[in-house]
Amino acid sequence: MDQFQFFPTPEDLAQRMWSKFKNRKFERVLEPTAGEGHLALENPVAKKSYSSWGTRISIDCCEIDITKHPVLTKHGLRVIGVDFMSLNSGSIYSHVIANFPFAKGAEMALHAWEIVWDAELVMLLNAETIRNPYSAKRQQLVRLIDEFGEVEFIQDAFKGANVEVEADVEVALVYLRKQASHDNIVGNLLSELQEDHRGGDSFVRDFVEENALAVPKNEIENRVLAFNAAVKAMKDAVLASAKSGYYASFLGKTMTERIAESVPDTQMSRIDWGVRKWGSDTMI
């Protein structure tokens, strides 16, 4: 038995999965268990010409079997990691499409939902994962489908002449839509901070104990969490600004800026006029 449960997605099933996406603007796509790229390469523009900019879908892949990485890169897919479960953030992705190993379907589907911020997810699972929600993770996944998506059951999807590895199994084609909102942002920040402050000699606990007689406990906790949420948001904003400045520095300087560095101020007015007249304010 294949230790990685490698069941390449049949072509017709892969196309059916891609058709589930309602947002057809594929800004950046994640394929968490890419195998040899059977699913990723059935994307809507895979067989079209790449002659113009913006026609090719940007797809990042994770694949636990490193022997398949050369195959993925040969197909032009970007391999970003081995174990998808170790990927902590997927906020850059607009779409997630996956044929998960059936033994870990619920766990991996929940992880995909957790790491994205604003995205559509189309995932192939064993139908039993949904039909028989005996575990807490399966129950959580069923609740997500009920609230944020839909499921389609397909029999004999891995049978037929065009199927590379056959399997007698019914599958569940799950669609989920996760939308970003102000509540998502604030709620997630507060949740993370609450986790950070649980146990140990946390600032929140000490502050509450010291001021318990002066202010109600819940109000103190909420104020401290809100304060730290604001600090974290500000820190993230500063970091984003710093990254922007750092990468912008690689774009080079305009001709006007380079001339200004080497010519005395008294001569700059005439040179600047000439540069503007001839349209030479270009990046070099």
Residue 171 lies in a domain: yes
For residues 140 and 25, membership in a common domain is answered with: yes
Closest CA to 231 of 223, 220, 219: 223
DSSP state of 283: B
Answer yes or no: do 16 and 108 share one domain: yes
Does residue 66 register a pLDDT over 80? yes
pLDDT grade for 237, boundaries at 50, 70 and 90: confident
167 and 105 in a common domain? yes
Of 20-34, 49-63, 114-128, least confident by mean pLDDT is 49-63
Same-domain status, 67 and 196: no
Whether the pLDDT of residue 200 is over 50: the answer is no
* 53 and 125 fall within a common domain: yes
End position of a domain, from candidates 179, 200, 221 = 179
Distance CA 96, CA 108 (A): 12
State the pLDDT at residue 21.
96
Q: Give residue for tokens 């005996």.
A: 134
Phi, psi for residue 254 in degrees, rounded to 5: -75, 165
Check whether residue 39 and residue 113 sit in a common domain.
yes
Please check whether residues 168 and 39 belong to one and the same domain.
yes
| Domains: count for the chain | 3
Higher pLDDT, 254 or 226: 226
Separation CA 103–CA 85 (nearest Å): 14
Residues 167 and 76 in one domain: yes
**Which amino acid is it at 102?**
F
Q: Which of 61-65, 159-163, 224-228, 273-277 has the highest mean pLDDT?
A: 61-65
Structural domain that includes position 224: 183-249
Whether 88 and 157 map to the same domain: the answer is yes
CATH code, domain with 98: 3.40.50.150
Decide if 113 contacts 105 (C-beta within 8 A). no
Residue 1 within a domain: no
- Whether 232 maps to a domain, the answer reads yes
Segment 18-43, tens digit of pLDDT = 999 999 989 899 999 998 998 999 89
Look at residue 6 and tell me if it is in a domain. no
Q: Helix axis angle, 255-262 relative to 265-278, nearest 10°?
A: 160
Same domain for 18 and 134? yes
Asked whether residue 3 is assigned to any structural domain, the reply reads: no
pLDDT (mean) for 205-222: 49
Residues contacting 225, CB < 8 A, separation 6+:
190, 193, 194, 197, 204
128 with 217, same domain: the answer is no
Give the confidence band of 207 by pLDDT, cuts at 50, 70, 90.
very low
pTM attached to this predicted model: 0.62
Residue at which a domain ends, from 117, 145, 179 = 179
Among residues 179, 198, 227, which one ends one of the domains?
179
Q: Sorting pLDDT into bands at 50, 70 and 90, what band is 107?
A: very high
What is the per-residue burial (b if ≥16 Cβ within 10 Å, else e) of 74-102?
ebebebeeeebbebeebeebbbbbbbbbb
Q: How far apart are CA 219 and CA 53, in angstroms?
A: 53
Asked if 41 and 56 sit in the same domain, the reply is: yes
